[in-house]
Structure 1
Amino acid sequence: MQANRNRWLIAISAIALHLSIGSVYAYSVYQNPINDSVGWNITSVTVAFTVAIFFLGMSAAFMGKFVERNGPRKSGLISALLFGLGTIGAGFSIQIENFAMFVTFYGVIGGIGLGIGYIAPVSTLVKWFPDRRGLATGMAVLGFGSGALITSPLAEFLMNNVSIASTFYILGSLYFVLMIAGASYLAPPPEGWKPANMQTDSEKEKPRTAATDLAQLTANESLKTMRFYLLWVMMFINISAGIMLLAVAANMTETITGASSAFAATVVGVMGFFNGIGRIGWASFSDYIGRANMYIVFFVIQLGAFIALPFTTNEVMFSILLYLIMTCYGGGFACLPAFIGDLFGTKQLGAIHGYTLTAWAMAGIAGPTAVSMTFERTGEFTSAFVLFTILLAVALFAAILMKVNIKRVKQDTTTQMNVSA
């Protein structure tokens, strides 16, 4: 642990790591080219993405103790090795046309690298920014949401000029170098470290913490509360809806609006930008309106957008709706660690965050599978939009219940304090 490290450079290092692993969100640009060159159908190609997100969620959920024990630097280096190897191995699998190997490299090996790389900088930045919780968690995952912004047009360019296998070789090597550079500077602050403003204004710190955190619970204690399961359902649906779009964004844009593949690839790339903007923007805004209110806003926006999307044939309007959903998708991720701190305290935030991310693993299967299967059977996306509109209504109801539950817990705590006094 090094006290002399600049926490803003730590943030940049975290973003560099996440920019690489966030390239998974550009996966839809590979679907049609792989289908055309190797013959694997869209549903089969989507399996690798689904497996990658599943292993991302599961490894993030259960590798938290490993990251805390070994530190973010070593964890980041391991992530770089696994994710780089997974991407390069995926290219080799395409070259020899071995689908099982492709899923193993991209989905399993790369997915584990994704999970370790995701949680290492998140937990570290939360420790470096105790004074700006929402902003910190937004920065921590900004790069992840923005990864597709760089990868999508770059992958499109490479596939048009070299083979698909070579595209994976080149990208895998670039990811490895960028992740090594980012991981090398990562380090947690010393025990008990606080920024200067918190050291000189400790009186203001205490009421802020008391007003923000409902309780200080362990991970196992959090599992006994209604709040944990409401949060899990909210995250599962928010992630499923976002990943559903990310998995088939290019194909969906072409099918519904009749846009060209080049335009669709651009849309996918810009989606990454709005994913990233949503993470930093909504997370910072949640510091002012509260995380419970923020999630209600997320689901109201997405409900309206999902109802409108299948009827929107104008390319510009279709893109705007996708971008709006992406800000909510990214914002949901960015607000999550801060919301966990609000609900359960920071005693075991990393472990509770890991438990909650199992929703990501499940959503990584449910979202892409649902949209791919309905499209293969019907040739259109309307049925998928109906399904996810219903799910988003359920999520909105859960978010409202969460707000009611928080209010009740606060009232009970106030009553107990008055009785004790």
Structure 2
Amino acid sequence: MSQAKSDIILDRMMALHPKVMDLVLDRVWRLLAALDHPENDLPPVIHLAGTNGKGSTQAMIRAGLEAAGKRVHAYTSPHLARFHERIRLAGELISEEALTAILDECYAANGGEQITYFEITTCAGLLAMARTPADFTLLETGLGGRLDATNVVEKPEMTVITPISIDHEQFLGNTLAKIAGEKAGIIKRGVPCVVGPQPDEALEVIEARAQALGAPLIAHGQHWHVYEERGHLIYQDERGLLDLPLPNLPGAHQYQNAGAALAVLRHLDFGETAYEGAMTDAYWPARMQRLREGPLVEIAPDVELWLDGGHNPAAGEALAKHLAGLPERPTYLICGMLNTKDATGYMRPLAAQAQQLTAISIPGEANTLPADETAKMARSVGMTAETADDVTQALADIAASNPSARVLICGSLYLAGHVLREIG
């Protein structure tokens, strides 16, 4: 298959990346100025930051807005199978033709200057969204918040901060307070901010930032509560109680993300159609996604096969809790991780739920943790672990030993993307 023209341009953009990765907004502001500041022409913006759950929360907000008949732009990262997933224009993924044209324009406007891949592609997304009519724009940060390339909108409609935990320490700091300070950088003067459940150390930083800027907080545990009761999601705030279906996205950890999405929709004063749509219509691949068809399922037709892209300790805890709540079945992990992640922290909570872990290296990723290192770390937290050449071999070996196993492919969004590309 010939390479898409957009992929060729994206490859050229990679060559512009500075030799040293630094979080600054100077390069973004320079390119946005050359593009005549598209960030000032966006439909009303809802800006999301957080360590875990911001993609799922964004998906539920989008589903709710669209259920209410609104046209919604959405920007997210990273992509799983195709770059086009990052830019959704008025409800539809950007077309190859439109993406190629907007990338070409941004590449030319940048004039060969150094700029990161995320920065220049974010500018492309903003330009595409500014030129397409819509009712709302959902922007998800890539890394942090304060110096993230998406943090260029002076007056968003709302901001959202999902749960914060330790991740990307090399860029954001090695304490919850430092990381929260970076995430809280999206809070703007006088703009309401929905806050998901937070550790006390993180919440204190967020509250101080909001108070300094006069930004009203709509915080979990203070202004809104959410919980499951008899197979329903119960959301409660000062306006009353909502009794809704459980989120379409599986896992108890999605309840808090659903609560944040509902807090946004309630503040914007949408009605029951939006609230129910946020629960029933949201779709977000590689977040405890059940794989029911494709070549992997054909290899092991009796295996219960799942895919998840979580990759930090908080994600490991959420996965372990979800697995513990599923009907009893021998559970096996096929795990590939990046060498920049806390692999033992991720795997430690999963040890009690997994009968065995099969480690693989992530295909095509320079920063993959080698399979034998992943297996070694799994053993260090008490798991039985072995290695395999790839997902196919790992799954076939598991199915041969236990045909009715539950298998979770996990550890990285990059591995999840590889799997989704492989199964089409």
**Common fold: TM-score over 0.5:** no
Larger helix percent: 1
**Normalized against structure 2, the TM-score is what?**
0.24
**Normalized against structure 1, the TM-score is what?**
0.24
